[in-house]
Structure 1
Amino acid sequence: MFPKKGPSVPAATEPRSTPTRGRRRAKPQRRRNRLGMGVALVGSLAVLGAAAVALGTSEGTPGGGKPSLQARAVPSEAADQGTESPAPASPSGTPQPSGTPQTTPPQTAPTGTFTVAAANGPAVGTGNIRRYRVEVEGGIGIDPQAAATEVQAVLADKRGWTADRRNGFQLVSDGTYDFTVKIASPATTDRICATKGLDTKGEVNCDVDDQVMVNSKRWLTGSPEFSGPIEEYRALIINHEVGHRIQHNHEGCPGPGKLAPAMMQQIYGLKGCKPNAWPYTAEGKYISGPPAP
């Protein structure tokens, strides 16, 4: 989610098909010789073998190989601190724009513990340089080093917050730091966000204390409202939450056909705007909108 403060059906099985028994042929009036009986016996065995094959099961059905994995349904989205308030409809009920990277998150076994990315980078931007580190929860299938590289690239991009010439950032792995970007499972994100009374409902992100909490579902699958590469949506997550850290509040759509501000809660609908991940244009112009709750 984005604000700063303030929905399994088992794998379908195909019914077993029992081979239809053919009508028994009338016994010949003439006596069979031993050779005829042998042929009949071989024919019967062939029929039984075919029946056994017909009754076999395929992969994904009971008794036949590994069942296909089913992703658990997750509740509808809620607010991030800054605080996104619950949306009237869950993401699953929202039409998916063409090109939106909506996939089923892989089944994972979150550990509840975090690994600090052993990555450091130069300071970028000017003014108040904020030191940050990147941490990833174990068991969620996300590499800490790769995640840190993405976060660093976002915060160093010329379309990011450094364009205001008042803020800068530096990736560190040890020593003092100002905030942490934590990527965690939906359950762990909910638990940490709840310490400040935020209900993220297994769906969205939050910003609490010195932690930017990134829900791994959003990091891996994007948003049904954001049509574009998953990397762009990840940039929106980081820019939105870090924007709260440097005292930016929510903004609305400035008008149909215009770019949505990075501080707009785009996961709840674009209101006629175009999806956008960056607070500034490549030319350094701030993408603003009217104040929003």
Structure 2
Amino acid sequence: MKKVKKAIIPAAGLGTRFLPATKAMPKEMLPIVDRPTIEYIVEEAIASGIEDIIIVTGKGKRAIEDHFDRNFELEENLISKGKLDILEKINQSSKVEIHYIRQKEPKGLGHAVWCARNFIGDEPFAVLLGDDIVSADKPCTKQLIEQYNTTGSSVIGVQTVSDEETKRYGIIDPISSKGRCYEVSNFVEKPAQGTAPSNLAIMGRYVLTPEIFEFLETQETGAGGEIQLTDAIQKLNESQKVYAYDFDGVRYDVGEKLGFITTTIEFALQNEEIKADLLEYLEEIVKKSNVKS
């Protein structure tokens, strides 16, 4: 059985929820405190043992390539000033090979993954979506890779959501479970309110066998008029088992405004440099709000 050494990070979305900020800046480059969102995703892949990453980009995404490129002038400047801790931070991505391909048309997540088919070849691979940051003692993708190594099958990361939220996600219809691992009957993309088969939602982390490309090749458009990865996974599940794994960790939704703001606050409170001042500021905000109410 081949090892999971490659990962796809789809980053071709238009980022319309964050306009006008994303008119000229990729949403994946919006910073959570002092690091762009996509950097958290790349670092998770590295920590999970991934050796090669392909980022699927689109028009106006050149800033992503520039960010992960070497900047020798900046590096020399940091070295001369003895700022080696910052140098280590900006060179984290040098531990992995990063490649790029463009999704020429915005046809959805399934199509974005399909665009990387030649890079993946006949190997199993991981997919990490940039709208979800997962904080975990063991990286989320590594948890899924371990399950793949055990089952020899595709594994989809899931977590429980409320009844009201099920319409926003791909939802699994579980048959049985062994610990955190579920055998799945159906994968349903964004079911109508009240029709979801469970509360276990797909959360932007996948380990897939290369056979998925056979189904993405002919996949028709689904929810939102796009080629949905979930629909292709369901077809794959009909020919070979696809498991779901309820991964351990805290998932942060940075794909919409409120989630992005609350994630930034939580991560800032984990930063010792600004934690005390931020807490003081937040306390003042709460006091003022109470007075007004």
What is the TM-score of this pair, normalised by structure 2? 0.23
Structure (1 or 2) with the greater strand fraction:
2
Larger radius of gyration between Structure 1 and Structure 2: 1
TM-score by length of 1: 0.23
Q: Tell me which protein shows more helix as a share of its residues.
A: 2
